[in-house]
Amino acid sequence: MRRSLHLVFIVLTALVFAGCNSLDSRIRANQAAFSALDPQTQQKIRQQIVEVGYTPDMVYMAYGEPTRKSFKSNEKGSFMTWSYQVSHDEYEGSSLHYRRSVAVDPRTGRRVIVHRPVVTDYYSEQNEEILRVEFKDGRVTSIEQNN
């Protein structure tokens, strides 16, 4: 029991550091752009806070690659939308059915068909948009966040 708790602690610690390294690696990959920002903006990016006026590079440093990107151009300018989504499984219910198999009756030595009950749980994958960032001409113009 103690060993498994120790293993769980190691795995959780690794996941926490992996998340930190992800943000840090994005900042390192854009070090010149990050260094050019004022300290207050740098802190906001580290806290995953984006604001109107940010560039795509700044949003990328804060949140990473979006789940989906869409582009639109018209006489009013160029528009881009970044969508960030999370996925989770939602329990849909279970069903009872019977699995048929062949077994040998120990008393007679004859083969018999046996029906064994099997319960199957069903889940559906749900995608939920948690953040939508809209850009016009390379700057954030709108932020929609769902908590």
Task: Write down the residue that tokens 């949003």 correspond to.
Answer: 59
Per-residue model confidence (pLDDT) at position 76: 87
In angstroms, how far is CA 106 from the centroid of its own chain?
53
Q: Element (H or E) spanning 138, and its range?
A: none
Per the structure, the complete domain to which residue 11 belongs is given by 2-145
* DSSP conformation class of 147: -
Tell me the pTM.
0.65
Per-residue model confidence (pLDDT) at position 21: 55
Per-residue model confidence (pLDDT) at position 99: 93
Q: Which of 45, 22, 21 is nearest to 33 (CA)?
A: 45
**Domain count along the chain:** 1
* DSSP conformation class of 142: E
Per-residue model confidence (pLDDT) at position 12: 45
Per-residue model confidence (pLDDT) at position 8: 44
pLDDT tens string, the chain, 147 residues long: the values are 445 444 444 444 444 444 445 899 999 999 999 999 999 999 999 999 999 999 999 999 999 999 999 999 989 888 999 999 999 899 999 999 999 999 999 999 999 999 999 999 999 999 999 999 999 989 999 999 987
Per-residue model confidence (pLDDT) at position 38: 95
Please name the residue ranges forming H helices in the chain.
2-29, 31-35, 39-46, 56-63
